[in-house]
Structure 1
Amino acid sequence: MIQSMTGFGKHVVQLPSKKITVEIKSLNSKNLDINARIPQLYREKELELRKMIADSLSRGKVDLGLYVEITGEETTSEINTGVVKKYMEQLGSITEGEPIKLLELALRMPDTLRSDKDDLDEEEYVSIKEAMKEALLKIKSFREKEGSVLEADFKLRLKTLGNLLDDIKEIDPERLNTIRERLNRALSELKVEVDANRFEQELIYYLEKYDITEEKVRLANHLEYFDSTLSSGDSNGKKLGFIAQEIGREINTIGSKANYAPMQQLVVQMKDELEKIKEQMLNVL
């Protein structure tokens, strides 16, 4: 079953004096790209948190947010008065405003709080890791649901491509007859005598250049392979992308050999369906 690279997971842990929120968001990317927003107190554990993400999410642009809200009456943090005043002075020199507004802005700036607690509480970190695990489970579930939607869309478009291929097979004999008639008509208009046997040999050689039997067989095989890969246990967007390239190659070859307007119209429809598959493929894990 395929998975999407788009996902969101969130988990909240309520401690006696803190509320810790872990949010993980992901978008499509060729590789794993992790961006972490973590309070300074927890920076020493950033590599470990990144490894947890890397072990769970193999690809995607991932944003990790760790937010801590003090909910208890006791706190080890104090306002860094000198820094806040300096911010207010600088803000006041840039724009006019009431002191209370300048204070609100200043308190949002870095280093406005100082803490006597420099060491991370290990029990608190255990709670953070549990919150990470829950958030990762939720984002994986989200990815699987999005993947099921993509899979249904792919199967629908594969069925359309298969129907168009059946139409091509149906009109192929008519196409070859039309090409043969066109050559005979062109020759008769020249009003010259030709060796019938030699002409037949040249005609067969010419028609072989426009034969698409191999392309039809390969295209059918590629469509079947794409469908079976969709139903496999692993989500492999890169593999599906390679198969889609092969499908496109066969469609292009059929189009270049068609030399017949009704078949070329079917090829255009096939290209349109394949392009929609490729667009969605960018988001498959």
Structure 2
Amino acid sequence: MQIATKRHTGAASRVRTNSKSSLVRDWQLYLLLLLPLAYFFIFKYIPMLGAVIAFKDYNMFQGVLASPWVGFETFREVFAMNGFYIALRNTFMLNLLDLLISFPIPIILAILLNELRVKWFKKGAQTILYLPHFISWVIIGGMAIQLLATNNGIVNNILKSFGMQPVPFLTEPFYWVITYLGIGVWQSAGWGTIIYLAALTGINKDLYEAADVDGATRMRKIWHITLPGIKPTIVILLIINIGHMATIGFDRPFVLSNPLVTDVSEVISTYVYKIGIQSARYTIATAIGLFQAVVGLIFLLSADYISRKVNDQGIW
């Protein structure tokens, strides 16, 4: 017993000594690490204290601390709003469609680019694909109106010149959802492709050479080598996307929306904007945001748990 205790004490002492020597040796790296830590603490963690507004009858003149406490009364008011359920339904619907349509496309594009042998064409195609990621959604919304407007859009003018009926891309709910998804794929697919291309570089090239010796076709190599090689990356990104099912960006639905398609375009982010900013109901907006965050965390943890049970892979 005494020998074991001495060994444990000696091991702990060595760990402390190694930690101190590492801190002294690499103090510049630890100093550089303080900057991102300070960023996350100041701009990510401290603002979390504002979540207490969801449990108060917030008055900007009284401040957060002096505003009267109302408990869960705000959440009861939120859950009684019909508009909240419409926004929640649309958020899940658009995110689910995005997951089904937009998620696989970067994988397919990365595999196609990886199979190309002409380097100049591969680099040019990759640049063209991820360039839309750097365009602001405000600009994209203006481009969509110029191209897809029912009366004077370029696309519908071309259709009318061929004697065809104009398509209400932005004014009819069904076509609006298709347009929303298509523009989203165009804007984000190329950037997502970069992640999978980076993962493809980690696959051992000897596996492809061995497959060539065995006479495997290109499709066989993709199925048995390429896809298993990037499977961990796919799983991690899938879990993260599932964790965002209850959240949605503000820019994309806001710039593409209009009063004619509010039934499908009103999402949580735009609803919070209308309630919190335009109507100055900050307590309601904070409660919705907090609910959204909790649901997103539940989705994230559930997806990670299921992935670990099925594939023995997760984000932690």
TM range, normalised to the smaller chain? under 0.3
Structure with bigger helix share is 2
TM-score normalised to the size of structure 2? 0.22
Larger Rg: 1
